[in-house]
Amino acid sequence: MKILFIGDIFGGGGRKMVKKVLPILREEEKPDIVITNAENLSHGNGFTTKAISEMREAGVDFFTNGNHVWGNKDGYKHLDDPHFPVIRPANYPSDEVPGDGYRIIEDSVGNKILIVNLIGRVFMRKDFDCPFKKMDEILDEVKKEKLAAIFVDFHAEATSEKYALAHYLDGRISALIGTHTHVPTADCHILENGTALMSDAGMVGAVDSIIGVRKDSIIKSFLNQMPMKHEPETSGQMVLNSVMIEIDDKTKKALNIYHIQKFSD
């Protein structure tokens, strides 16, 4: 089984890049399923149903999220719909939070894939539940399912927290891929017991930006320490960062993992 995971898609420029490049990647890499993080999909803050449909038409099968999941009510109000292909971090500390933190879906040939979204606690502004214990709970809940792969998007700031969770789950999941920092890490590898790891997949957005945002406002905020409105950069060269994971669907162990980076002309 081949899972293609695309890093955080940032705003309209990122969506345009996905529409341009993903059909080529599908032809070249032939993934069984394509997953991406949607928390920055609409103007860098949240997602809309229109943006989700746009990315579905481009070839994305399923969407995870992060701390900006609540950025647009048009999108998150649909999270309780079991047919809406979007989940949010599982370790929000309340049963009143809409949506699911994980979903089991099937690929084109009927293989069942567990997709889990978790959010980190180190350097994050909210008080989330423990992602380690939450993942234990999820694995216990699905233990009777005949799964071909278990994929985790861990939306976290600290590399140490991502590595710790990956090692904690090594051998129990197929892959843990980090999101949130928008900067791809040069650390694709497979852990001792068969779990693939990349601590951040990177983003899809403008190269000449500050993690997808126009440079001027970010620089000004660093200089004067005042909050500034973040506007996505939609012009100039774009980059698409993604990661391919090959998995043995009999053992759920990773066989290969590699980073794929594409630039616009």
Pairing of strands 8-9, 203-206: parallel
Q: Which of 68, 155, 180, 182 is catalytic?
A: 68
Q: SS3 sequence, 191-255?
A: CCCCCEEECCCCEEEECCCECCECHHHHHHHHHHCCCCCCCECCCCCEEEEEEEEEECCCCCCEE
Residue 68 annotated in active site: yes
Could you identify the residue written with the tokens 């983003």? Answer: 203
C-alpha Rg value of the chain to the nearest Å: 17
- The set of catalytic residues is 68
